[in-house]
Amino acid sequence: AHDFRRKSDDSEDTELRFITCQSLWNQIKSETEEIQEDLNKQLLDNLLNFLSRSHSEFQEKTTEWTCKMKFREIPTAALVLGVNVTDHDLTFRGLSDILQDSITPYIALLEAKDCPGIKNLMQKLMGQLMNCDIDVDTLEDEDCVQVSQNRIRCSMSSLISWYESVTKKTDSETPSKKRNSSSRHWKSPPVVVIFKDMESFTTKVLQDFIVISSQHIHELPLVLIFGIATSPMIIHRLLPHSVSSLLCIELFQSISCKEHLSTIIDKLLLTSRFPFKLGEKVLQVLINIFLYHDFSVQNFIKGFQLCIVEHFYSQPLSVLCCQLVDVKKRVISLSHEQCENIRRLPSFRRYVEKQEAGKQIALLTNDTFLKEDTERLLEDLHVYHENYVSILRCLHVFTSSLPKYPLGKQIRELHCACLENRVWETEEYESSLQLARMLNKTDLVTMLQQCVEILTSSSGKQFHKTVEKLKEFLTQFQNLEAEASQERDVSVLSQKELQKKTDLYHLQKTLLELKESRRSKKLTKFEMLRFEVVDYIDSLVRKYLVPADDRTLHEIMYFNAATVLRGHLNAAPRTALHTALNNPHWYLKNQALKCDGGSISNKAPDICIVYKLHLECGRLINLVDWLEAFSTVVTAAEEPNAVAASSDQMDDIIHARFIRAVSELELLGFIKPSKQKTDHVARLTWGGC
C-alpha cells in the first residue's frame, strides 16, 4: 500500500520501482537465510549427534548409562558463538526448530534477564516445557494443564512427575493416534534446556540449578546447552570445580562471524545474479560498522536492506535496475520524463560528449534513439559485471597468497580497491605485481589452475580465449620441467671450472667476468614465462576491472550515498547537539548568526548563549551569576530596537527566557540541580571549547 509515491502521477514509475525493490529484497533475504542455514548445518548436525548420543543410553537403560549416572553427570553442550550477540537469536531459533523436528519436543530457552533467581528460572523453565506439552497433545486437555501450570509449585519433583506423566501418556496411547506428532521422537525424549547467554546468568542461579538437577538426572534425562559469547573458559570461571564436575561438557564452535560475512558478501555482492550493487564508500561504511561496532551479520544485512530501499526510493531510474530479461520491456515503456532523467545522469553526459555530433543530437532529442542506446548500454553493464566478478576472483587468487597482502587478504578488500579507482594505478597493485613476479613455480601453477577453474565455471562467454591462453601457460610450465634437467648439466659443467681457482686474485677476476656475463645474460626460461603470465594477468585486470564509476549509466545499478547510510545507521546525536549549540548558523541560515573562530554571536538563540556561558564554569554554576551574564548578553543584543519597552517588563521576559533555556539544558542533560549550595546547578559534561 505504501510505496515511493510522492506525487499523485506515476511518471517516475514509483509503483514498479517499489515492486522491484520488494522482490529484490525478498530474494536477497531468502538467500541470506539459506546461507545462514548452510553455515550452521555442520554445527547443528554435530549438536544433534551429541544430543541423540547422550540420550540413547538413557533410552536403553544400559549399564553404561547407569554407571555414568553414578557420577551424576549432566550431558552439556558448550556452544561458543562469538561476540556478535545479535546474531545468536537466529542460531538458537534454528537449533530449537531442528531439535523439535528430530529429537525432542521438550525444549526450554532461558535468558538471563528472565532468571534473576532460581525460582524464576524454574518457573520459566516449567512454563515453557508445559506449554510445549500442550502443543504436542493437541488441545484436548488444555484447561487442566493451564490451571495446573499456574498452581504447581515449581520444584524439581513436580517437574519429574510431569515428565513421567507425559512420557507414560505417550507410551500408553495408541500408536496410530500419536504417530503424527511423536513418531519422530524417541519414547522418552530428553529435556533440553538452553541457556542463551550463559555469561549473564548469576553464578548462584546456575550453580544451584546444576546441583539440583544433577540429583535428579536418573529420573529426568536433562541435557544443557550453554550459549557462550566469549570463551569456553568462562564455564570454569563461573562454576567452581565441585559444580563443573557435575557436567559432562562437550565443546561446539560455531562459525566465526567474519567467515559468515565473507560468505554473505561473496554470495550477495560478488555475483551477477542481483542487479543492485553497492558503491565503494557504502560498502566501506557497512564493513566498518561490522568490524568496529558490532560484528553483527544481521546488522550488515539490515544496512544492505536500507541501501536497497534508499536506492529505489531516491533514484527514479532504478526502475531499470532489474534482471536483463526485463530491461528491454522497461526501457521501451519509459516516459519522456524518465528519458530526461537519463540525460541528466553525469555518466551519460560524459558518454554523450564522446560521441560524434550527429549522434549527440539524436541522443539528446530523440527518445526512441535514446532508449535503444540505453538498452545497449545496460546490456554492456551486465556483461561488465559478469566479467568483473570472474576476473576479480582470479586476481584475488594471486593477491591472497602474496606476503603481507598489499591488496588485502579478503576478496572484499580487493573489491573495494577495484571499485574505488583504477586499481592498476595504485601503489599496492604495483607492489603486488612485483611480488607476483617472484612467485615460485608450484604456486604459480596452482594459481593458474585455480584461475582456469574460475573462468570456466563463470557465466561470461568471452573467456574462451583467456582460458586457452592460461592453459597454454600451464603446458609451457610442464615443458619447462623437462628442459630444466638438461640445463642443469650445463650449469654444473661451468661451475666445475670455477672450483679449480682458489686464490683471491682469480676469484675476483672470475667474479667480475661472471658479473659481466650476468648483466648481459638472458633470463631463464622460467623467469620469462613468469613475467609473461603476470603481464597477462595485468592485461586482464586493466581490461575488466575498470571501476564502476567509469561505466556509463552506473548510477542505475550502484548505490553511492554513503553519508545518508552512515547518518541513518551510525548516527552521532551528541555531535549534532554540539554543532547546534556551538554553531547555530549551521542549521539556521541567517546572516546574523554567521560567526567564525569558535565564538558565537550574541544574537544566537537563547539556549546557545546559555550553553556557551555555562562552558566557562567549573563543576558548579551559580544561577544568579549565570542569569546576570545572560541578561548582559541579551540586552546588548537587543538594545537598539527595544528602547521603548519598559525595562521592568523586559527584565521579566529575559528572566523567563533564561529559565526556559536553563531547563532545556537540564532536559538535554548538561546540568542538574545541586544541593551542595543554594541556587547552584552542577555541570554534567566535561566538554569545553
- What residues between 246 and 275 interact with another protein by CB under 8 A? none
C-beta closer to another protein: residue 342 or 548: 548
Question: In the set 409, 422, 441, 525, which binds another protein (CB under 8 A)?
Answer: 409
Task: Extract the C-alpha cell encoding 390.
Answer: 570472474
Binding segment for another protein (CB under 8 A), chosen from 2-10, 185-193, 387-395, 543-551, is 2-10
Give the position of cell 504436542: 136
CB of 97 to another protein, least distance (A): 17
Nearest to another protein of 113, 328 (CB atom)? 113
Q: Which residue among 153, 598, 641, 644 contacts another protein (CB under 8 A)?
A: 598
Report the chain's terminal Cα–Cα distance, integer Å. Answer: 49
Least Cβ distance, residue 34 to another protein (angstroms): 20
C-beta of residue 280 within 8 angstroms of C-beta of residue 416:
yes
Torsion of CA 627, 628, 631, 637, to 10 degrees: -130
Q: Which of 239, 285, 370, 397 binds another protein (CB under 8 A)?
A: 285
CB nearer to another protein: pick between 328 and 619 = 619
Site for another protein (CB under 8 A): which residue of 204, 354, 437, 542?
A: 437
CB of 678 to another protein, least distance (A): 5
Indicate which single residue of 287, 317, 322, 370 sits in contact with another protein (rule: CB under 8 A).
Answer: 287
Beta-carbon contacts of residue 89 (< 8 Å; ≥ 6 apart): none
Q: How many helices (H) and strands (E) does the chain have?
A: 30, 10
Q: Phi and psi for 220 in degrees, rounded to 5?
A: -125, 110
Query: Cβ closer to another protein: 247 or 301?
Result: 301
**Within positions 64 to 103, which residues make up the interface with another protein, using CB under 8 A?**
85-86
Judged by beta carbon, residue 484 or residue 624, the one nearer another protein is 624
Residue 337 identity? E
Cell numbers placing 294? 558490532
How far apart CA 655 and CA 664 sit, in angstroms, is 14
* Minimum CB distance to another protein smaller for 147 or for 576: 576
Among 311, 385, 530, 614, binds another protein (CB under 8 A): 614
Burial of 675 (0-12, 13-18, 19+ CB in 10 A): exposed
Output the smallest distance, CB 331 to another protein, in A: 26
User: Three-state SS for 432?
Assistant: helix
Please give the Cα distance from 481 to 130 (Å, whole number). 72
Residue 555, H or E segment: helix 554-557
Closest CA to 660 of 599, 616, 601, 611: 611
Q: Which residue's CB is nearer to another protein, number 71 or number 587?
A: 587
Task: For the CB of residue 438, give the shortest distance to another protein in the complex, in Å.
Answer: 7
Binding to another protein in span 385-404, by CB under 8 A: 403-404
The answer to whether 252 and 77 are in contact (CB under 8 A) is yes
Pairing mode, strands 107-110 and 191-195 = parallel
Euclidean distance between CA atoms 349 and 354, whole angstroms: 9
Q: How far is the CB of 684 from another protein (least distance, A)?
A: 8
Q: Closer to another protein by CB, 331 or 416: give it.
A: 416
Q: Which one among 17, 185, 260, 281 touches another protein, defined by CB under 8 A?
A: 281
- Per-residue binding letters, 626-665, with another protein (x by CB under 8 A): x-xxxxxx-xxx-x-------xxx-xxx-xxxxxx-xxx-
84 by Cβ neighbours in 10 Å (0-12 / 13-18 / 19+) ranks as buried
The least distance separating another protein from the CB of residue 642, rounded to whole angstroms, comes to 11
Longest CA span, the chain: 116
The residue within the footprint of another protein, chosen from 499, 522, 641, 644 (CB under 8 A), is 499
Query: Among 175, 240, 346, 687, which residue sits at the site for another protein (rule: CB under 8 A)?
Result: 687
> Residue 445 to residues 449, 478, 563: CA-CA distances in angstroms?
6, 9, 44
Residue 212 or residue 511: which is nearer to another protein going by CB?
A: 511
Binding to another protein (CB under 8 A) within 505-564 occurs at: 506-507, 510-511, 514-515, 518-519, 562-564
Using CB under 8 A as the binding rule, the residues of this chain from 328 to 387 that contact another protein are: none
Give the phi and the psi of residue 138 in degrees, each rounded to 5.
50, -160
| Cβ atoms 193, 125 nearer than 8 A | yes
Helix (H) or strand (E) holding 250: strand 247-253
Q: How far is the CB of 365 from another protein (least distance, A)?
A: 33
Q: Which of 128, 253, 256, 305 binds another protein (CB under 8 A)?
A: 305
Q: Which is nearer to another protein, 93 or 328 (CB)?
A: 93
Among 46, 431, 450, 456, binds another protein (CB under 8 A): 431
CB of 116 to another protein, least distance (A): 11
* Residue 334 CB-half CA count within 13 A: 28
Total chain residues near another protein (CB under 8 A):
149
Which contacts qualify for 377-380: CB closer than 8 Å, 24 or more apart?
Answer: 377/351, 377/552, 377/553, 378/320, 378/324, 378/327, 378/331, 378/553, 378/556, 379/324, 379/327, 380/551, 380/552
Closer residue to another protein, CB minimum distance, 216 or 409: 409
Binders of another protein in range 214-243 (CB under 8 A) = none
Shortest reach from residue 275's CB to another protein, in Å: 19
Alpha-carbon distance of 270 to 277, in angstroms, equals: 9
Taking CB under 8 A as the criterion, the residue among 40, 299, 390, 458 binding another protein is 299
Burial class (CB in 10 A: 0-12, 13-18, 19+), 36: buried
Binders of another protein among 108-127, rule CB under 8 A? 113-114
Q: Which CB, 455 or 604, lies closer to another protein?
A: 604
Mask 553-592, x = binds another protein (CB under 8 A)? ---------xxx-xxxxxxxxxxxxxxxx-xx-xxxxx--
> Which is nearer to another protein, 212 or 291 (by Cβ)?
291
Tell me if 625 contacts another protein by CB under 8 A.
yes
**DSSP secondary structure string for all residues of 24-74:** HHHHHHHHHHHHHHHHHHHHHHHHHHHHHHHHHHHHHT-HHHHHHHHTTPE
Draw the binding track, 136-175, toward another protein (x: CB under 8 A; -: no contact): ----------------------------------------
